[in-house]
Amino acid sequence: MKVLILGGGGVIGQKLAQSLALRGELRGKELTKIVLADIVTPAPVSAPFPVETTTCDIANPASVTACIDADTDVIYVLAAIVSSHAEEDFDLGYKINMTGTINVLERARALGTKPVVVFTSSLAVFGGEVPDPIVDHTLLNPQSSYGTQKAIGELLLTDYSRKGFIDGRGFRLPTISVRPGKPNRAASSFMSSILREPLNGQEAVCPVEEDFLHYYLSPRKCVENLIKGAELAEEDLGQNRNMMMPGKIWSVRQLIDAMTAVVGLEPAKLIRWEADAAIQYIVKGWRFDQAPKKSIKLGLTADDSFEDNIRYYLEDDKPSA
Amino acid sequence: MKVLILGGGGVIGQKLAQSLALRGELRGKELTKIVLADIVTPAPVSAPFPVETTTCDIANPASVTACIDADTDVIYVLAAIVSSHAEEDFDLGYKINMTGTINVLERARALGTKPVVVFTSSLAVFGGEVPDPIVDHTLLNPQSSYGTQKAIGELLLTDYSRKGFIDGRGFRLPTISVRPGKPNRAASSFMSSILREPLNGQEAVCPVEEDFLHYYLSPRKCVENLIKGAELAEEDLGQNRNMMMPGKIWSVRQLIDAMTAVVGLEPAKLIRWEADAAIQYIVKGWRFDQAPKKSIKLGLTADDSFEDNIRYYLEDDKPSA
């Protein structure tokens, strides 16, 4: 069982590789190799089997062909230009998030082996004039270029699967928090940084009001769900291969209170409140009131409480002093 | 006011040009030129202003650039590989229906003039495990490559409009009947041929049962709606620029009875009933129970009765003996 992770240098890609390394098997078969590919060479991950790290520019078909070998059984497509970045650079967003996805699907099709393709979509596919709650058959109505590109990826994943070219499964990720590392150009970056930086004794800026509601999942649960997602039986997926990954709705205030409950009063004092119209324009276009049924029925799960998300960060990710 | 019709050699393209020629104006401005472009040179249309006919391969960016001049005010995108054809030839379908649409949008964006782009989508974007009726915020859940390609076109139309590159408006066409001319490779081709051929004294084959329900619109109403569609005020369209074009639900039996009501008993006797599994696979994946609100509120209309559709064919299209 050979697994390729496109976007293997990112937070979820690295955690997924670490989790697979510990597990040693996927879809009932022993793991023999993981390839981590990204636009810059990913950090290595230690495992009891070979882990290869390589560069791959998914916007370049030749680069995609070079990094997807004929014996690749499972392809995780995590590579993407994030929301604010795709909004600022229209052409780059389409090049990576749409054309890049097409390149991967075309290469997977060319293999002729019907590989499993696990695609990460986003809650940014939802928005606008559609009624709450968001259910499994709600219109994909993105309010950003990033959401549009993810919605196109979903449609292609289903069509390539229907034709038997791949065995696709797509998951609309909630916002991942607490995400380790540095802030990125996702409009949702603050949803981790207002917790992560204070937990590390640093200041952070919150660009929205404390009653801002959103839909969250921890990195640990996300990786669990991505592994379950690869293991689901094809016949259980239905014709549309995409589904919401379960999350929970919390306010910014609830996130901060959870941090305080776990580590005490001091970190919350490091948060500065500075409204940012550009970020609010994007994140208020997202929909938090999600009521997934399909993914829950298939066994995917959300976090129990945001205190758990805080603890997972401390256990898995907090840099040692 | 210069209008370009891509797919100008097709049935709707030709009728649209004829209707615009009679009208002489669009969006409150005098028409000064119509360009009819298609993969083969379209038939000319007489008008009191210049009508140019030209070839354009929308899959070729250079060809698209050549046929969309900087002074083009309104672009109708009617060009497409039809449903059965796109299902048979996966690569050609994506090349024309997806890449071709992207080429047109990119060229329109490059003009820098924010032209009006009228895009024809299809009821084939709907299907599968979504509840009836289909409403304005129902998931696009295509069951075919053609429907997938049209859904992608819709998403792009909205995103390019949101960014201010174009003023897009997309309409999901019901099945057009009675469509003049010859049968084509649309799976829906029989929905006209079982009427058109008998009305011309010829045999026709019906590949579905007589209780097969579907959602129809006459070519005459379709063209009326496409002209209204170009004239809608941008601020009335909403963020999602796509909507169902209104139609009516009728059974095959009702279509045939309408023909009999208008022209008598003989033509219906020319219909042979031969079930066709391949056609049924596609057309039974389509959804007929559509309840558009947005387009009706904006003034688009359906036919009053299918007898009208029969009469329109006899008045507008029946070849003289």
pLDDT digit string (tens) for B234-269?
999 999 999 999 999 999 999 999 999 999 999 999
Nearest CA in chain A to B238: A129
Instruction: Pick the closest to residue B161 from B235, B249, B71 (CA basis).
Output: B235
Asked if residue A226 lies in contact with residue A18, where contact means CB atoms within 8 angstroms, the answer is no
Out of A76, A94, A146, A313, the active site residue is A146
Contacts of A236 in chain B (CB under 8 A): none
pLDDT band at A83 (very low <50, low <70, confident <90, very high): confident
SS (H, E, C) chain A: CEEEEECCCCHHHHHHHHHHHHHCEECCEECCEEEEEECCCCCCCCCCCCEEEEECCCCCHHHHHHHCCCCCCEEEECCCCCHHHHHHCHHHHHHHHHHHHHHHHHHHHHHCCCCEEEEEEEHHHCCCCCCCCECCCECCCCCCHHHHHHHHHHHHHHHHHHCCCCEEEEEEECEECCCCCCCCCCHHHHHHHHHHHHHCCCCEEECCCCCCEEEEECHHHHHHHHHHHHHCCHHHCCCCCEEECCCEEEEHHHHHHHHHHHHCCCHHHHEEECCCHHHHHHHCCCCCCECCCHHHHCCCCCCCCHHHHHHHHHHHCCCCC
**Residue B146 a catalytic site member:** yes
Q: Which residues of A touch B238 (CB under 8 A)?
A: 128-129
* Closest chain A residue to B148, measured at CA: A155
pLDDT of B286 over the 90 cut: no
Q: Which residue among B138, B148, B240 sits closest to A156, beta carbon to beta carbon?
A: B148
Q: Which residue of B has its CA nearest to A159?
A: B145
Distance of CA B90 to the CA centre of its chain: 21
- DSSP class of residue B94 equals I
**Residue A321 pLDDT more than 80?**
no
- How, if at all, do strands A74-77 and A2-6 pair? parallel
State how far the alpha carbon of A93 is from the alpha carbons of A64, A82, A105, A145, B108, in Å: 17, 8, 17, 7, 19
Identify from A129, A140, A155 which residue to disrupt to test chain B contact, counting B C-beta atoms within 10 A and taking the largest count.
A155
Find the chain A residues whose C-beta atoms sit closer than 8 A to any C-beta of B.
Answer: 90, 128-131, 136-143, 145, 148, 151-152, 155-156, 158-159, 162-163, 238-240
Note the pLDDT of residue B284: 85
B116-122 sheet: strands from edge to edge: B51-55, B33-38, B2-6, B74-77, B116-122, B167-173, B242-244
What is the pLDDT averaged over residues B203-213?
Answer: 96
Q: Which tens digit of pLDDT belongs to each residue from B78-118?
A: 999 987 889 899 999 999 999 999 999 999 999 999 999 99
Left, alpha or beta for B132 (phi > 0: left; psi -120 to 50: alpha)? beta
Looking at CA atoms only, how far is residue B144 from chain A in angstroms? 7
Distance from CA of B159 to the nearest CA of A (A): 6
Task: Decide if pLDDT at B282 tops 90.
Answer: no
Q: Which helix (H) or strand (E) holds B147?
A: helix B145-162
Is there a contact between B280 and B233 (Cβ–Cβ < 8 Å)?
no
N- to C-terminal Cα distance for chain B? Answer: 38
* SS3 call for B2: strand
Q: How far apart are CA A4 and CA A33, in angstroms?
A: 8
Can you give the pLDDT at residue B53? 98
Please tell us whether the domain made up of A2-174+217-244 is placed in CATH 3.10.129.10.
Answer: no
Chain B partners within 8 Å of A162 (Cβ): 143
Which chain A residues are closer than 8 Å to B140 by Cβ?
139-140, 155
pLDDT of residue B320: 84
Q: In this model, does residue B31 exceed pLDDT 90?
A: yes
The mean pLDDT of A239-263, rounded to a whole number, is 98
Q: What's residue B213's pLDDT? A: 96
SS3 assignment, position B241: coil
Residue B2: the pLDDT is 98
Q: Give me the mean pLDDT over the B293-304 stretch.
A: 98
Of A138, A145, A155, the CB nearest to B152: A155
Both tokens assigned to B252: 């095959």
Q: How far apart are CA A26 and CA A56, in angstroms?
A: 23
User: Stretch B146-151: mean pLDDT, rounded?
Assistant: 97
Are B238 and A137 a contacting pair at CB < 8 A?
Answer: no
| Domain-wise residue ranges, chain A | 2-174+217-244, 187-214+248-288+304-316
Q: Measure the CA–CA gap between A119 and A79, rounded to whole angstroms.
A: 9
In this prediction, residue A281 carries a pLDDT of: 86
Mean pLDDT of A50-74: 97
CA–CA gap between residue A5 and residue A78 (Å, rounded): 7
Compute the 3-state secondary structure of chain B and give helix, strand, coil in percent, each to the nearest 5. Answer: 40, 20, 40
CB contact under 8 A, A163 and B156: no
Task: Identify the active-site residue in B76, B146, B216, B313.
Answer: B146
pLDDT at A286 over 90: no
Interface contact A155-B158, CB threshold 8 A: no
Instruction: Give chain A's mean pLDDT.
Output: 96
Chain B: closest CA distance from residue A148 (Å): 6
The mean predicted confidence, pLDDT, of chain B is 96
Residues 6+ apart with CB under 8 A from B237: B161, B169, B298
Q: Which of B141, B148, B240 comes nearest A141 by C-beta?
A: B240
Per the CB < 8 Å rule, is A143 touching B239?
yes
Asked if the model's pLDDT at residue A56 lies above 90, the reply is yes
- Collect all residues of chain A within an 8 Å Cβ-Cβ radius of residue B108: none
Q: Is the pLDDT of residue A246 over 90?
A: yes
Do A128 and B240 count as a contact with CB atoms less than 8 A apart? yes
pLDDT value at position B50? 97
For residues A180 and A129, is the Cβ–Cβ distance under 8 A?
no
Q: Is B276 exposed, middle or buried (0-12, 13-18, 19+ CB in 10 A)?
A: middle
- CATH code of domain B2-174+216-244: 3.40.50.720
Query: What's the CA gap between B280 and B292, in Å, rounded?
Result: 25
The CATH number of the domain covering residues in A187-214+248-288+304-316: 3.90.25.10
